[in-house]
Amino acid sequence: MAQEPPQVAQGRALVLDANILLRAVLGPRVRGLIERYSERVPLMIPADCVEEVHEYLPILCEKRGWSAAPAVELLEALLGLLHVIDTSLFVEFKADALRRIGARDPEDWPVVALALAIDAPVWTEDTDFFGSGVAIWTTENVELYLDAE
C-alpha cells in the first residue's frame, strides 16, 4: 500500500530501484541490508517499482525453477520494511526526471523523481542512473551511506 514519504531524520533516506527489491527477494545479501538498516534509515520505493517487481518476480522464479509463492510471500514481508511512495506525491518532478534519465530508460523516471523530491540518493545496480545528477549507491558500497552517522 502506497504512503506519503516519512519525515527524514537527520536528513538521510534512500530511494530503492526495482532491481534492488528483486535482489532482496532472490538473495540474502540485499535482503540482509534492508532488514538491518530499515529502522535506522528510511528506505523508500516508488509504488511503480513495486508493481514492476510483482510483474517480474514470477517470471524470474520460473526461470530459476522455483515456486513463485514463497518469493511473493517474502516480497510482501520486505515491503513491510519499506516506505512505498505513491507516484502522485512526486509527479511534479516527472519532467525533470525524464530530462535526466529519459534518453537511457524513461521507465525509471519515478525513481529519479522521488530522489529529487526528497533530496536522497538512489540504491541501484542499473547503470542507466549514472549521470542523472542524483547520488547513486550500489550494493557493493551502500553500507558506507547506511552506516554514516
Residue among 9, 20, 18 at smallest CA distance from 42: 9
* The overall pTM is greater than 0.85: yes
Residue 7, pLDDT above cutoff 80: no
- CATH fold group of domain 12-147: Rossmann fold (3.40.50)
Q: Name the band, by pLDDT with cuts 50, 70 and 90, for residue 1.
A: low
30 contact partners, CB below 8 Å, separation of at least 6? 20, 23, 24, 139
Average pLDDT over residues 45-60: 95
Residue 9 pLDDT: 45
Which of 7-21, 64-78, 135-149 is predicted with the least confidence, judged by mean pLDDT? 7-21
Residue 105 pLDDT: 84
Average pLDDT over residues 57-74: 94
**Sign of CA pseudo-dihedral 107, 113, 116, 119:** negative
Contact 25, 68 (CB under 8 A): no
